Chain A
Amino acid sequence: MSVRLRQLGALICLSVLELYRRKDLFVVFVLAAVILLPLAFFAPFGVTGAGRYVNELALLLVWLFSIVIGLGTSARLFPPEFESRTIYPMLAKPVARGTVLLGKYSGALAASLLALAVFYLAYGLLTGFRQGVWFPPVLWQAFALHTGFLVIVTALGLLGSLLLTASANVTLCGLLIVGMLSFGQRLAALAATQTVPGKWVLYVIHWVGPHLEFFDLRQRLVHEWPPIGWGVCAAVLAYAACYAAACLALSGLIFKKKRF
């Protein structure tokens, strides 16, 4: 195994072990059970089809918790290292700063995806048990796009963790994520109706901000619509990879210049 891979492995293990030891994963499992178990047994008012409202609620909570886990893990990547000065012995080792950054990012992403996989597994099993449809293609697509979403969220969290305290980072990134999920699709149309300079501000957000609404397939899942084209799915995942790569490149520049 190459030295770089061992270094990345050590950094990833550290993040996952932290998640495990901080009991975050335990909380995730309990929440998944509490939220998703009722899906298997609950038939609201005995009305056929009303169960989809429960599915919608469950998916909303899955999204909220995935944001909490993804952002919570990535926003804490560097501030505790700076505060407790563990960054010094780390950087004194024969490891490049770029490797540290990539390892930290991969660790946060691995930890977030682990939690996400638990949520989707539980959702797939319980809806399968209730509706008799086991892991339809649209569920796989929803999971794939949700991983793309977390690829961007953790990259944003990492970037913020180099510049802000963990709480400020969570607040700022949280606002950006919720804002883009809610209004991202309508930004261009909204900008067209505004006057300068508001128009330009909205256009800048439209072009620079992460279009997280691309990754949301909840409506398709809830209403049992057919899956989207796999080409579209691949394009959206490519967008996630490019956006995260841009965030990582910017983080790399900041980390390289950062004085400890």
Chain B
Amino acid sequence: MDVVRLDGVSKAFGSVRAVNALSLAVGQGEILGFLGTNGAGKTTTIKMLLGFFRPDAGRVTVLGGDPCDAATRRKIGFMPETAYYYPYLNVRELLAFYGGLCGMSKDQIRTRSEMLIARVGLTDAGNRLLRTYSKGMLQRAGIAQALLHDPDLLILDEPLTGLDPLARIQFRDLILELRRQGKTIFFSSHELSEAELICDRVAILKQGALVLSGAVSEVAGDGRQNLERIFLKVLGVAGGEVAS
């Protein structure tokens, strides 16, 4: 069964067609890099995967269910691109809040929170208010809240924004560890080099339509072309011509 399935999905806002007849499937345990320039329709697609709104046409299925149902979202973890969270909470309180929203018991929240706070490297800052956190630390808190309820599918919207090189390596290790645990990861990013290192497959979006999809090894060919050049090429940008 596909964990994520988009069948001919379209969405328009007024006269602007944000997503155009998008069909895509992500299998269990796969890491999909969802790539595209700003305004390509990545965030709109993610919002439909999270059930924030329904598509105008086509069908969105996540883990066999409708993401507009709370029961389906119980199995989804989401990390937004830029969220500043609640500045007057510390990370433990933040996780307690989100755990409560997930319907977790206090014991479950405590156990998972401590484990995740340690895993994302926020133990020393666990009692500090979030308003004192750097952008990178907020991103780590964001990863922790996304993983709190042990979801089967993780949707990450630009997760590397604000992370320093060390944190990026730790993040990459975490993602690969999650894949080993059988989690599926839908990874939207501008960071093509990171996507190349982490992802099993990539899907490139242009003006709401899918222009390229395939395994990273297939897309990048025999190693003469990296993902960045392929990306530029399919978008018809001059830099891609070098590769072609």
Contact B100 A94, beta carbon cutoff 8 Å: no
Asked if A91 and B100 sit within 8 Å, CB to CB, the answer is no
What does DSSP make chain B's interface, helix, strand, loop or mixed?
mixed
How far is it, in angstroms, between the C-alpha of A219 and the C-alpha of B89 when the chains are bound? Answer: 42
Cβ of A21 < 8 Å from any Cβ of B? yes
B34 at the interface (CB under 8 A from A): no
Q: Is the CB of A6 within 8 A of B76?
A: no
- Of B53, B70, B98, the contact of A96 (CB 8 Å cutoff): B70
CB of A92 within 8 A of CB of B88, answer no
Chain A: interface size category: 20 to 34
Tell me, rounded to whole Å, the shortest Cβ–Cβ distance linking A130 to chain B.
38
Of A10-18, A30-38, A51-59, A195-203, the one with at least 4 CB within 8 A of chain B: A10-18
Q: Are B102 and A84 in contact (CB under 8 A)?
A: no
CB atoms of A94 and B93 under 8 A apart: no
B85–A86 CB distance below 8 A: yes
Tell me if A93 is interfacial: C-beta within 8 Å of chain B.
yes
Closest to B93 in A: A17
The 9 closest A-B pairs by CB, nearest first: A10-B100, A3-B103, A21-B88, A92-B78, A94-B74, A93-B101, A94-B70, A94-B73, A84-B84
Chain B nearest CB, measured from A108 CB (Å) = 15
B155 contacts across to A, CB distance below 8 A: 92
* Contacts A94-B103, A260-B47 given; does A89 touch B97 at CB 8 Å: no
Having A4-B103, A260-B47, one finds 4 other A-B pairs with CB under 8 Å, namely: A6-B104, A10-B97, A86-B86, A92-B76
A186 at the interface (CB under 8 A from B): no
**B129 to chain A: closest residue by CB:** A21
* 25 A-B pairs with C-beta separation under 8 A: A1-B105, A4-B103, A6-B103, A10-B96, A10-B98, A11-B101, A13-B96, A13-B100, A14-B86, A14-B97, A17-B89, A18-B88, A21-B89, A85-B82, A85-B83, A85-B84, A86-B85, A88-B50, A89-B80, A89-B142, A90-B98, A92-B73, A94-B101, A94-B102, A95-B102
Set of chain B residues within 8 Å of A85, measured between Cβ atoms: 80, 82-84
Q: What's the nearest-Cβ distance from chain A to residue B147, in Å? A: 12
- CB of A9 closer than 8 Å to a CB of B: yes
Q: Say whether, besides A21-B88, A86-B86, A259 and B53 are in contact (CB < 8 Å).
A: yes
Please give, as numbers and ranges, the residues of chain A lying within 8 Å of B98 by CB-CB distance.
Answer: 10, 89-90, 93
Q: Is B139's CB within 8 Å of the partner chain A?
A: no
Q: Find chain A residues with CB under 8 A from B52 CB.
A: 88, 91, 259-260
On chain B, the residues within 8 Å of A165 by CB distance are none
Docked CA distance A85–B138 (Å) = 13
B183 CB, nearest partner CB in chain A, Å: 16
Chain B residues positioned under 8 Å from A4 (CB to CB): 103
Contacts of B88 in A (CB 8 A): 17-18, 21-22
Greatest chain B CB density within 10 A among A21, A84, A91, A92 is at A92
A13:B73 contact, CB within 8 angstroms: no
A13 to B95, CA, bound (A): 13
Which A residues are in CB contact (< 8 Å) with B85? 84, 86, 89
- Contacting B at CB under 8 A, from A221-260, are 259-260
- Whether, in the assembled complex, B10 has its beta carbon less than 8 Å from a beta carbon of chain A, the answer is no
Q: How far is the CB of A21 from chain B (nearest CB, A)?
A: 4
Q: Once bound together, how far apart are the Cα atoms of A91 and B4, in whole Å?
A: 19
B145 proximal to A (CB < 8 A): yes
Interface centre among B85, B100, B102 (most CB of A within 10 A): B100
Instruction: Please give, as numbers and ranges, the residues of chain B lying within 8 Å of A7 by CB-CB distance.
Output: 100-101, 103
Question: In the complex the two chains form, what is the Cα distance from A21 to B132 in whole Å?
Answer: 14
What A residues does B71 contact at CB under 8 A? Answer: 94
Q: Flag B37-72 by CB within 8 Å of A: 1 or 0 each.
A: 000000000010010110000000000000000111
Please, which residues of chain B bring their CB within 8 A of the CB of A93? Answer: 73, 98, 101-102, 149
Q: Smallest CB–CB gap between A77 and chain B, Å?
A: 13
CA distance A4 to B102 in the complex (A): 9
For the complex, what is the distance from the CA of A13 to the CA of B88, rounded to whole Å? 12
Q: Which residues of B contact A89 (CB under 8 A)?
A: 78-80, 83, 85, 98, 142, 145-146
Closest partner residue, chain A, to B50 (CB atom): A92
Q: How far is the CA of A85 from the CA of B221 in the complex (A)?
A: 39
